[in-house]
Structure 1
């Protein structure tokens, strides 16, 4: 191993994850400074200072995060009161979570990307005892065609699924996970607000997507009733509560990001259904659009503006572009490009080559004090550049700043919800590729939520398949409530 790599590793290993070596009692770190990322350590002190200065805007201290929390709280309140806000605060009409009595065989339909799933799940005493899943592909023509064409295709796939199981003559309740922003009218009805991801089907303005799906199913003589319409975030909350009854918040931290939580029904302004006996209801925050009205511009950087300008949905989903896996690789590329233009990094990465998986790899190597894989990736995305171990450390540092800020911002939202809920303990169900695969994100979130909500007990729970299992569980909850109300 070269002296440069040894020197680089020693610099990194001197203070991994921001902790000082155990060489005597370190002075108490002020609360505000406990949010600061691990500093860059290079042999070249002047280059180090210039890089740190150039990237300073990506560093958020405790005071800035408190301000973000105050803005989030204000936007949240306005959204609940149906006043202008960048947070939709949608009433999902899900009034209860699993209690262990869920019974029956249910279908679930999970639509949120180019591949979608049809599932059959059987529950006994709240436990999943049988599951069948089939995946189908939605081509470009369907994603960009008419809404009727898309929903007829979905119904064809459901018909194929139940026929394959020999169950086309049976009666089913179905939970429909529709992972796009929507305006809900009840637990089983809602309208699309806007398409996201790679979808842009025409003719669905003002259309109840659950009713449309049910009509298409009935046209095929299928005895299937859409009992529940929800998104993957609500499904994650429900799936998490099936594991731990203390779950009260659901979070998606993957390609995109969103959160939902159990709110007191009396605080929710928007109701289109009887709710006299409802104490709590799940509210879908839709925090991906937080800041679309400019309320977060006080910490927006030139790198964020570049990523936004190059995105398919410019000026939209502001918050998601700080924390979503779809954008973290682009932020890494933008920051390294700025350093290169200032002669602080050997070359600008080629456009669209750095992905969030690379950012996670850089962080993993940073934690381990390694640089080999980071250098390999940099040589692929910066062909022809003369790259050294110290350049790899710079790239790792940029990845760390972006990761640290992402963890801080999602933690602000969770901490605000914890303070609002005021429960003895709240488990937070989290799903998504960034949470699962980033080596530091869960630990950073645990640290920052604790700092931002120090008097509120919480735990982070990895939840699986909210869009499938959560959907079926919610359909079972709806069936339970309907049977109780009919008694």
Structure 2
């Protein structure tokens, strides 16, 4: 981004000085990124050595790679915070995938009381509507279960729930095996369905990418939240106490959104980040996620806007009930602002005056709002490179061959320039010719497809 983007025509000297201060806080030098990458690698090593570290590095019990030649139809359940998807995934044997899916909105009763019965009933509806329910001598259907809540995984198809997050709070489940709870609910309906694999969404994203491109090494979600999974050499996982898999590898769920949550010492915290963290429902947790994921970027921008308004450097000090409310600036508003190149910045004017209800914005107000959006988005994309570089350089021997990184999520897919800025930042630390071997690919809806693929692998081979 050229420096001229940060010059505000018609701005007062005080307004320009405040913008310059924001630029200093949010534009990260390569040296700063390098120091964060070094610390990220150190935290990865800690998580590989022992449980209870800030980067959890959780073994997924997935140790195989699909070849792309597998065929057949497989099933998956993908549980989100607001809805549930049941999928039938058909593999064509040439790396191609066809999906048929049905969404079920989670009821309030499901979120607080009857979740596993609700899931079982949804599976029953999906199968019965398509005449797929096994009868007579037909074999049971194997299903993968994408469950993106904190679990202590104990095998490919078992895991103990640590806590509920994302708006779910079903009593009597914490400390119990979620696969067993679901399997019992399926049995109560007389459904011959076996839950063959418990899958984190990033692990699913990786396996979905790996079916399409066997060189896939990482699966990442850059969306409402962020996390990653990758194939690690099992000999590097010092805390692993099980039998070493024949492949010599294990997919690890990194839970990387928690990076630096214990110390707050390495990420580039500004007063606006600290304020967001302090007022969030999970203070001093998910520090990395709060700087780079879609749930939080709009709120960081709102904090900056209010900071400027409080100094009468934006909107002449005016605000509104909407602007004063947490989460009132959605990250999608930043996307719109970044791409508004109209002479009067009319889309930004619409956001400020109609959506946020702050009347009579000036051209300087709109330019500053755009700069805030650019800075928050660019910092997110450059910081996202930290986890990518740290993970890829953990296994440097792989950088001399093609590596695909499957990425899902709204930030990667929709936020303007996110993909380009991320790739550029990675190239600063993994230069040519190795950077040429790295391919970033969109693994859309990868979590559900990957869960079905893992169920297929688990059924065919003890993974």
Q: Are 1:39 and 2:6 matched, yes or no?
A: yes
Once the two structures are superposed, the pairs formed by residues 407-422 of structure 1 within 5 Å of their partners are 407-422=381-396
Query: Which of 413, 419, 424 matches 1:442?
Result: 419
2:196 corresponds in structure 1 to: 227
Q: Is the 8 A contact 2:95 2:212 kept in 1?
A: no
Give distance in 2, aligned partners of 1:384 and 1:436.
30
Give distance in 2, aligned partners of 1:130 and 1:389.
49
2:174 corresponds in structure 1 to: 205
Residues 308-351 of structure 1, C-alpha deviation per residue, up to 9 Å, x if partnerless? Answer: 22322222222111111111111111111101111211134342
Q: Are 1:406 and 2:380 matched, yes or no?
A: yes
1:481 corresponds in structure 2 to: 461
Q: Are 1:217 and 2:217 matched, yes or no?
A: no
2:80 corresponds in structure 1 to: 112
1:309 corresponds in structure 2 to: 278
Q: Report the CA distance between 1:242 and its aligned residue.
A: 1.9
Give distance in 1, aligned partners of 2:67 and 2:447.
19
Q: Report the CA distance between 1:295 and its aligned residue.
A: 4.2
Q: Is the 8 A contact 1:108 1:118 kept in 2?
A: yes
Structure 1 alignment gaps of length 5 or more = 1-16, 21-37
Query: Which of 193, 218, 221 matches 1:252?
Result: 221
Once the two structures are superposed, the pairs formed by residues 6-155 of structure 1 within 5 Å of their partners are 17-18=1-2, 39-44=6-11, 46=13, 47-54=15-22, 56-82=24-50, 84-125=52-93, 131-145=99-113, 149-155=114-120
Once the two structures are superposed, the pairs formed by residues 153-232 of structure 1 within 5 Å of their partners are 153-168=118-133, 169=135, 170=138, 171-232=140-201
Secondary structure, aligned partner of 1:338: helix
Q: Report the CA distance between 1:402 and its aligned residue.
A: 0.7
Q: Report the CA distance between 1:142 and its aligned residue.
A: 2.1
Secondary structure, aligned partner of 2:371: helix
Tell me which moved more, 78-87 or 401-410.
Answer: 78-87
Q: Report the CA distance between 1:384 and its aligned residue.
A: 4.5
Residues 71-102 of structure 1, C-alpha deviation per residue, up to 9 Å, x if partnerless? Answer: 11111111111154211111011112220232
Secondary structure, aligned partner of 1:449: helix
For the structure 1 residues 75 and 475, does the alpha-carbon distance in structure 2 shift closer, same or farther, using more than 3 Å as the test?
same
The CA RMSD over aligned residues, in Å, is 2.2
Residues 156-206 of structure 1, C-alpha deviation per residue, up to 9 Å, x if partnerless? Answer: 111222122222224211110111222211222112223221112222222
Q: Is the 8 A contact 1:75 1:87 kept in 2?
A: yes
Q: Is the 8 A contact 2:96 2:212 kept in 1?
A: no
Tell me which moved more, 293-302 or 328-337.
Answer: 293-302
Q: Is the 8 A contact 1:234 1:284 kept in 2?
A: yes
Query: Which of 340, 347, 350 matches 1:365?
Result: 340
Tell me which moved more, 111-120 or 472-481.
Answer: 472-481
Calculate the TM-score normalised by the size of structure 1: 0.86
Give distance in 2, aligned partners of 1:83 and 1:191.
15
Give distance in 1, aligned partners of 2:126 and 2:335.
37
Calculate the TM-score normalised by the size of structure 2: 0.90
For the structure 1 residues 74 and 173, does the alpha-carbon distance in structure 2 shift closer, same or farther, using more than 3 Å as the test?
same
Secondary structure, aligned partner of 1:321: helix
Give distance in 2, aligned partners of 1:272 and 1:151.
31
Residues 8-37 of structure 1, C-alpha deviation per residue, up to 9 Å, x if partnerless? Answer: xxxxxxxxx3389xxxxxxxxxxxxxxxxx
For the structure 1 residues 19 and 388, does the alpha-carbon distance in structure 2 shift closer, same or farther, using more than 3 Å as the test?
closer
Q: Is the 8 A contact 1:350 1:382 kept in 2?
A: no
Q: Report the CA distance between 1:128 and its aligned residue.
A: 5.2
Q: Are 1:471 and 2:451 matched, yes or no?
A: yes
Q: Is the 8 A contact 1:260 1:282 kept in 2?
A: yes
Give distance in 2, aligned partners of 1:18 and 1:279.
47
Give distance in 2, aligned partners of 1:130 and 1:50.
51
Give distance in 2, aligned partners of 1:384 and 1:165.
51
Give distance in 2, aligned partners of 1:310 and 1:381.
23
1:336 corresponds in structure 2 to: 305
Give distance in 2, aligned partners of 1:384 and 1:153.
44
> Would you say how many aligned residue pairs link Structure 1 and Structure 2?
446
Give distance in 2, aligned partners of 1:60 and 1:196.
32
Q: Report the CA distance between 1:124 and its aligned residue.
A: 4.1
Q: Is the 8 A contact 1:323 1:409 kept in 2?
A: yes
Give distance in 2, aligned partners of 1:337 and 1:90.
39
For the structure 1 residues 350 and 124, does the alpha-carbon distance in structure 2 shift closer, same or farther, using more than 3 Å as the test?
same
1:262 corresponds in structure 2 to: 231
For the structure 1 residues 334 and 167, does the alpha-carbon distance in structure 2 shift closer, same or farther, using more than 3 Å as the test?
same
Residues 199-227 of structure 1, C-alpha deviation per residue, up to 9 Å, x if partnerless? Answer: 12222222111122112212322221111
